[in-house]
Chains A and B, each alone.
Chain A
Amino acid sequence: MKILMFSWEFPPLIAGGLAMACYGMVKALLELGVEIDLVLPTKEMVYFPLKKVEDADTLPVVFLDPVRQKEYDEFFTTKTASTTESVSTILERLEFIGATFSPETYISGSELKTWSHIFEKVSTIKYEHTRTEERVWENIKEYLIGDEDIFKKVQELTIRAEKYAQVLDFDVIHAHDWLTYPAGMLVKKLTQKPLVSHIHATEFDRAGGAGDERIHKLEYEGMTYADLVICVSKYTANMIISRYNIDPGKIRIVHNAYDVDDLSGLQKERIFKGPTIIFLGRITLQKGPDYFIELAGQVLKTHPEARFIIAGSGDMGRRILYRSAYLKLKNKLVFTGFLNRKDVEKILNSVDIYIMPSVSEPFGIAPLEAMAYGVTTIISKQSGVSEVVQNAYKVDFWDISKMVEIVNYLIENPEDCKAMGERGRLEVQNIGWTEASEKILKTYQEAFQIYDSQTH
């Protein structure tokens, strides 16, 4: 099975959880013998032909333009004589093709010419050109418009999709989130290959309610036009059924996974003597940091020895900082700012309780990592991850008094807290990507069959 996959992130190019999820599933799919041509929003027009498991780490590159390919080959053969490629040279190669650490810099908007001509071409394709289809392309043309950098980049990726469609050979198209949906749709239109749209987060999750209308439209069209839709949780499936009216019959649920290391021998290195409770993630409305702050204030009334950490940064950071001062949390709550991977690991190894009070979390992979460190977790019921794990407390994000009750109980019964953390640690050892990728492969096969039976 050969797949053309569009994604916005892939390590080492990381903006959020999407990169890690893609990496986990791609690696596991490669293990199952699936071949993947991965397309990212790189500055240079390239794709990554992934055939072996190691390719997910080394990221071999192919240019669509043979002249550039030659330049690239010459540049790197003279540069690296050694046979084994180090991490630094992978980063150098990615630098060369214009894929730097922040996806915001992938494509320069200034290179963008007129882009809507692509849809005129689409409408000349007479094949299966129904009235519904006309509406789809009208919508894409209308809503994929905006002066924001991100919209320019999505337009660019969409234009390029035509080239990839011409050059590459594949059985199924797999597109991750709205940023790549128009590209995936276009390739389906041009090649008549089946499209699987993967939804990791909806605009409703990000905005905490109705968000950008254009993005809502693109999400709707992207999932409606797909042959099958993969949801990261039942929670998300319900969301797209009720909000986008997506046909439940074509939804497949594949929970995200997390390949954890066995950290059973690890000694805790505490920061605070007192029981320590952490919020770790982006400080944005979606993640519910405001609920965490209120909880801290209430717990401290009963347990002044408790300590709270807010780790991360985000657009709500200042509001949360001021609110914590207003609530007089004294020096019992500290802010770490943005943390790199190493510091995330360090801090998880120093705390007792992890809370994810997300308002809406399609999946939410972070608690799995906390659990791997034996940290007792309390997670929002409004999350996909709560469908997967057993050994975590599950609470409605708005139910602060319930969360306070649990935290107080755990502080007063440290043995129970430890035991729960240990059960969680054991549980996440079994949540790997292998099972999830088997489901994805099944979805590919299904999409291929549906399509096959329709066209022949």
Chain B
Amino acid sequence: MLNLIFYFQVHQPYRLRNYNALEINKNHDYFNHTLNKEVMDKVATKCYIPTNNLMLKLIEQCKGEFKISYSITGTAIEQFKAYRPDVLDTFKRLADTGCVEFIGETYYHSLALLYDTNEFLEQVEMHRDLMRREFGYHTTTFRNTELIYQDRLSDLIHEIEGFNTILTEGADRILNWRSPLFAYKNYSGVISLLLKYYQLSDDIAFRFSNRGWAEYPLTVTKFVNWVEQLSLAEQKGRSLFLNLFMDYETFGEHQWEETGIFKFMEKLPEYILKNPHLGFAQPSDAFQLANYQQETLAFPEPVSWADAERDLSAWLENDMQNNAIDAYFELLAKIKQSNRFDLLDEARKLSTSDHFYYMSTKYFQDGDVHKYFSPYDSPDQAYIYYINALADLEERL
């Protein structure tokens, strides 16, 4: 059996406004509310609402055979509540179907794992509480920000009661000759790992509408045909997992409706389920379904799902990014030491990885993607406003 596991990332950051140095100590509002509302409105209309409705319809049609999973950040949920509560309602309806798994992560979509273990654990706990509160869901699968994973993460997640699976990138440099279709164990053998099958995931997420791509246009028949070829690798009745991980905004936002992305998704479950060797599963099913000795995989260095390098360089490459994040975690520690919990929420909104992504100066292939996703004219500006905000926050101590 080959199980398709869909996991969709739902995230919106709090974008900073052009926060000038002369405003330090005068104006403590760092965020661009107008822009954040505008983006939320746009993405809700183009993506969240129509895609959620489609998923609801598919789940109903397939009578429990079609399963999906979501990771929704705390900053996204807060902005749903502020600007588009209707989006949160449709996610709640999805939760009620029982065919949807919610995945744990850091509340603020942060890089805390790499800098401050206690902060990381606190943000994981906050997110878990949020999932319980909003969807009545107890998370057992974990994904770290941008699928960043290394051995140390599995140690930390294993310590938290109830988590048994982690999602990450099927990076070539870790897998070598191995297939991402198997379920693996972390280096110490205590946590299950599901690895993104990046070719097929990115065929949908990035290449779907690319007319320069040899396989354009991607039809459902073609895609299912590729999936069926994969299932030939299935041997001795072992359960395989095709992990299709992507941004939820792929639907209607990165790939516009005109590209046919919704029609593609609408037909996919039916075509998959026609084949008795194919089916859908949730990440938490893998723990039981894996009917073989799972091999352990060591990740001594961090991997992620971003850019061609699949490492941390999208957020932590140049001096601006490194200085900004060092300054941030130094300040966060100070805020906690001085018991200024009133400042903690604002401070944590600045921990979101997007702020560092905007400072990226990778100007070649991936730089285009960075520019597309950045609200600023240049990485320099993103850096200047961020540092100014940190300077003001420190003055408030």
Contact = CB atoms under 8 A, between A and B. Distances in A.
Q: A and B from one assembly?
A: yes
Interface of A: 270-273, 307, 309, 318, 321-322, 324-326, 328-337, 339, 343, 346-347
What are the 4 tightest A-B residue pairs by CB atom distance, in nearest-first order? A330-B327, A325-B319, A331-B390, A325-B323
A326 B388 contact: no
Nearest to B320: A325
A322 B21 contact: no
B24 A272 contact: yes
A343 B24 CA distance: 13
Nearest to B384: A335
A334 B391 contact: yes
B225 interface: no
Interface residues of B, number: 24
A319 to B, nearest CB: 11
16 contacts: A322-B319, A322-B320, A324-B323, A325-B322, A325-B323, A326-B319, A328-B326, A330-B327, A330-B390, A334-B384, A334-B388, A335-B21, A335-B387, A336-B20, A336-B22, A337-B21
B383 A321 contact: yes
Contacts of A331: 327, 331, 387, 390-391, 394
B380 interface: yes
Contacts of B21: 271, 309, 334-337
Contacts of B395: 271-273
B384 A321 contact: yes
A329 B323 CA distance: 7
B117 interface: no
Given A318-B380, A321-B320, A326-B319, A271 B387 contact: no
B25 interface: yes
Nearest to A331: B390
B377 to A, nearest CB: 12
A260 to B, nearest CB: 23
Nearest to A273: B395
B313 to A, nearest CB: 16
B315 to A, nearest CB: 14
Contacts of A324: 323
Contacts of B330: 330
A330 B326 contact: yes
Given A331-B390, A331-B394, A321 B380 contact: yes
Chain A residues touching B, majority SS: mixed
Contact of B25 (A271, A322, A335): A271
B22 A346 contact: yes
B319 A272 contact: no
Interface string B365-397: 000000000000000100110011011001100
A330 B387 CA distance: 8
A271 B24 contact: yes
Nearest to B331: A331
B233 to A, nearest CB: 48
Nearest to A333: B387
A328 B320 CA distance: 9
A328 B327 CA distance: 8
B320 A343 contact: no
A270 B25 contact: yes
Nearest to B394: A331
Nearest to A346: B22
A329 B25 CA distance: 19
A94 B45 CA distance: 51
B332 to A, nearest CB: 12
A318 to B, nearest CB: 6
Given A272-B25, A339-B22, 15 more contacts: A307-B391, A321-B383, A322-B318, A324-B323, A325-B322, A325-B323, A328-B322, A328-B323, A330-B323, A330-B330, A331-B327, A331-B391, A334-B391, A336-B21, A347-B22
A318 B378 CA distance: 11
A307 B391 CA distance: 9
A334 B323 contact: no
Contacts of B388: 334
A273 to B, nearest CB: 6
A145 B176 CA distance: 64
Contacts of B319: 322, 325-326
Contacts of B323: 324-326, 328-330
A270 B25 CA distance: 8
Contact of A271 (B22, B318, B327): B22
Interface in B32-54: none
Nearest to B390: A331
Contacts of B20: 336-337
Interface in B317-370: 318-320, 322-324, 326-327, 330-331
Which among A270, A326, A334, A339 has the highest number of chain B CB atoms within 10 Å?
A334
B25 A343 contact: no
A417 to B, nearest CB: 20
A347 B324 CA distance: 24
B337 to A, nearest CB: 15
Contacts of A329: 323
Nearest to A329: B323
Nearest to B381: A337
Nearest to B321: A325
A337 B383 CA distance: 13
B324 to A, nearest CB: 8
Contacts of A270: 25
Contacts of A330: 323, 326-327, 330, 390
Nearest to B18: A337
Nearest to A347: B22
A6 B327 CA distance: 51
B327 A343 contact: no
B57 to A, nearest CB: 49
Contacts of A343: 22
B326 to A, nearest CB: 6
